[in-house]
A and B are shown apart, each in its own frame.
Chain A
């Protein structure tokens, strides 16, 4: 047992734990922030997994063709938006079931990514590291928050902007209202399904960025398994956080801890069964939701389609 605590101590005092953790949390936060907006508007958008993968692939292709990380970023956004457009138009214009569409999209994007990756074989490499002077010398977390590759810093813009849009603009107010009471929103002249579509597009935008970050800020190469179910963890983070942005980010950090724990444990040379370790983040996610999901109140119209005149 002392061995165990020694290992734990080593893990929690090493800077690399926090650096890896921040990467995982950052990746989740990209996806979760957009997902949070979509859920506030009333869509439990499970195609976020597909958006991430699509964004990762198109950004890799963008880099492969032009050799520019910036172009790759826009390509990634476009990739996320393509998936978002199918999800949004099919579930909130055509009233197909949002889960059915999302699930099908996830499977389709996975097939497409595998197929196109084998046919086109994009070549990518990491973006440059930017260390922010002074701030990165903060012990333990300085390196993690201010010594990353530059795509990470996009998050510092994205998160406040997301908060500002949702809580300080008319559009944000309307988005929140269609998630709570679409009938009233409709009566007061808000196009409910339009707002919902737009919020899904926002999720596509952030997830596309997330896919781009995954390739250029974290992993460096594209494979069809790069996302590997973490989109679903991002959704869980939103639920874990009780549909607040702060809570969502906290959820990202908690789940990222579980994701990076595996690497950290192996880093200090402590032997734990790989299979059990790999399922740890998912178990932690399930437990996290089991503890918190019934204490929080979801948007009242979450996952309920809106058709005027039908209740």
Chain B
């Protein structure tokens, strides 16, 4: 018995070797691609490191980019644990940001309070947008995989429409010069403050997202609610029998995941600065952060704390990409690297799972 248990247990060195190998292959493929199109991979690599870490002020920027990604990833982890596949974070994020913009100008309360309200309304907006998918799923049986995806496009167009109408989001003519489709700018006291550490500007969203990561991790692993959610994800039928209503728990998980995406959108808006524009909403404001956050959650294999370093790495690829252009290689290469990395990181756990299955069967049939 003990030997079996040891044989089936985790083999850290094997895992590590597998992961390192996969990452190497992904990087190798990317390098080959760069070389094949007439570029040189070394300057690209250098530019990536300069842009994400080495040049002054850059790691603060990377942290600032990682924060919304982490928030999106946390939401994805919540819905993923419940066995629901929400892949519409990009839209939920944008709708959340639009809600935050709209209501912060509608209410216009005193500064600090308004920042909090803005974040809350962002979360509500994202939750409502995910709620549409939840409604379609549990009332009309539409797979959430598809509805959340389609709602990304619809959300994008609706926000663009809102930005073209002055009674919704469009800024008054005096404030926008001759630009179309921009919202008013958040007032100074409506912005999330930045911390300054070693010459790096770090938005408060970084702290918020890390605190939330710890909370999400604890809630999912240590509370009854979290346990029920995991049960629902692992075995919906058993969960239903023991009193976990799929409709209530599933819908709330989906809406919470939307709320995190919306919160990320609001934080991008109020945190502003380098990566996310000028404290105002424009079409395409979400800037693929939703997709990236989703990938972070997938790579972190639905573990909230693992998502923190993963988000940092993905954010590094993003902030690094702005330096890649100078090397003469199309900066889109970072998206390719990101895709290869994610695919490569899917392989080790799948292979290990299959090997464990095979060994378990061998043990069960007595051939070992």
Contact = CB atoms under 8 A, between A and B. Distances in A.
A274 to B, nearest CB: 9
A132 to B, nearest CB: 36
* The 9 A-B residue pairs with the shortest CB-CB distance in the complex, in nearest-first order: A108-B339, A111-B335, A279-B157, A294-B141, A94-B350, A275-B161, A115-B332, A119-B37, A96-B350
A104 B338 CA distance: 9
B332 A118 contact: yes
Contacts of A44: 143, 145
B153 A279 contact: yes
A293 B343 contact: no
A114 interface: yes
B24 interface: no
Give the size category of A's interface with B: 35 or more
A100 interface: yes
Interface string A91-120: 000111101110111011111101110111
A31 B339 CA distance: 23
A282 B339 contact: no
B250 to A, nearest CB: 15
Contacts of A290: 136, 140, 142
Contact of A309 (B142, B332, B361): B361
A293 B142 contact: yes
A276 B157 contact: yes
B146 A307 contact: no
Interface stretch (A137-145, A168-176, A228-236): A228-236
A95 B353 contact: yes
B158 interface: yes
Contacts of B354: 94-95
Interface of A: 44, 46, 86, 90, 94-97, 99-101, 103-105, 107-112, 114-116, 118-120, 229, 232-233, 235-236, 239, 273, 275-276, 278-279, 282-283, 285-286, 289-291, 293-294, 303, 307, 309-310
B298 A107 contact: no
Given A276-B157, A286-B151, A101 B346 contact: yes
Given A111-B335, A273-B164, A289 B37 contact: no
Contact of A107 (B151, B335, B353): B335
Contacts of A275: 157-158, 160-161, 164
A46 B144 CA distance: 12
Interface in B194-217: none
29 contacts: A44-B143, A44-B145, A90-B347, A94-B346, A95-B350, A96-B349, A99-B87, A100-B298, A104-B298, A104-B342, A107-B338, A107-B342, A108-B335, A108-B342, A111-B338, A115-B37, A119-B38, A239-B143, A239-B146, A275-B158, A275-B160, A275-B164, A279-B153, A286-B147, A286-B151, A289-B142, A289-B147, A293-B142, A294-B142
Interface string B267-280: 00000000000000
Contacts of B353: 95
B332 A111 contact: yes
Chain A interface mostly: helix
Contacts of A118: 330, 332
B340 interface: yes
Contacts of B33: 115
Contact of B330 (A96, A110, A115): A115
A239 to B, nearest CB: 7
Contact of A108 (B87, B161, B340): B340
Nearest to A109: B339
B154 A283 contact: yes
B219 interface: no
Contacts of A103: 87, 294, 298
B332 A236 contact: no
Contacts of A291: 140
B120 interface: no
B53 interface: no
A255 to B, nearest CB: 11
A150 B150 CA distance: 31
A42 B323 CA distance: 44
A108 B154 contact: no
Contacts of B342: 104, 107-108
A32 B158 CA distance: 27
Given A279-B153, A286-B142, A293-B141, A104 B295 contact: yes
A235 B142 CA distance: 12
A235 B343 contact: no
B336 interface: yes
Nearest to A289: B142
Nearest to B297: A100
Contact of B357 (A239, A289, A307): A307
A261 to B, nearest CB: 14
Contact of B335 (A105, A115, A229, A233): A115
Given A107-B295, A282-B151, A289-B136, 15 more contacts: A46-B146, A99-B85, A100-B346, A107-B335, A107-B339, A108-B342, A111-B335, A112-B339, A118-B330, A118-B332, A232-B146, A275-B161, A275-B164, A286-B136, A303-B145
B157 A293 contact: no
Nearest to B339: A108
B333 interface: yes
A118 B335 CA distance: 14
Contacts of B336: 108, 111-112, 115
Contact of B37 (A86, A105, A109, A116): A116
Contacts of A235: 146
A34 to B, nearest CB: 17
B291 interface: yes
Interface string B15-49: 00000000000000000010001100000000000
Nearest to A111: B335
A282 B153 contact: yes
A13 B89 CA distance: 41
Interface string B67-87: 000000000000000000101
Interface in B129-150: 136, 140-143, 145-147, 149-150
A285 to B, nearest CB: 6
